[in-house]
Amino acid sequence: MSTNLTEASTPYPLASLGRRLAAAALDGAFFIAVIIALVIAANIIAAWAPQDSTLAGTIWIATTIASPILYILGNAVLLQGLSGATLGKHLMGIDVVNDATDAPIGFNRALLRAAITYLIDLPTLIGPALIVLTPHGRTLADRTCHTLVINQLPRR
């Protein structure tokens, strides 16, 4: 593993800021579409529930709390961990790889990377600032998890 994160190297070109932003926008659009579909489904189910039932409220709470968590786990953790990219990254032709092996990052790193991205990098804007201000465009999540965001690897 690279000990000096500012000197991380890969034989593949790093993904541009524009491609990373477009991938994030696509992931956001997919996220919104999934949430809207689930809220519509929850409202339809709740409409069929008996009026004195707590089923409607339970469905609504489960949808609004569980859906975002399940989407992030599915897209940013499972899909990205196994394949190297979220849905948006796949469409934009970029991958997240281990900086030492250029392989997909696996479940554990993907989980940690998602936690740092959604809890620190995005809310504080540290991640986008580091992409612009550092030579290899690595967010706090990338630095912590030893990952690089590169143009898509040839599929094996």
- pLDDT per residue as tens digits for the range 53-77: 677 677 777 777 888 899 999 999 9
List of residues 6+ apart from 107 with CB closer than 8 A:
77, 78, 81, 82
Residue 92 belongs to domain spanning? 13-151
Spatial distance between the Cα atoms of 40 and 115, rounded to a whole number of angstroms: 28
- Determine, yes or no, domain membership for 66: yes
Residue 141 has pLDDT above 60, yes or no: yes
pLDDT: is 10 or 12 the higher one?
A: 12
Residue 7 has pLDDT above 60, yes or no: no
Please count the helices (runs of H) and the strands (runs of E) in the chain: 8, 2
- Determine, yes or no, domain membership for 4: no
- Determine, yes or no, domain membership for 7: no
**Please, what is the angle between helix 17-48 and helix 55-72, to 10°?**
160
Q: What is the pTM of this model?
A: 0.81
Q: Which of 84, 77, 133, 75 has its CA nearest to residue 105?
A: 84
- Determine, yes or no, domain membership for 37: yes
How many domains does the structure of the chain reveal?
1
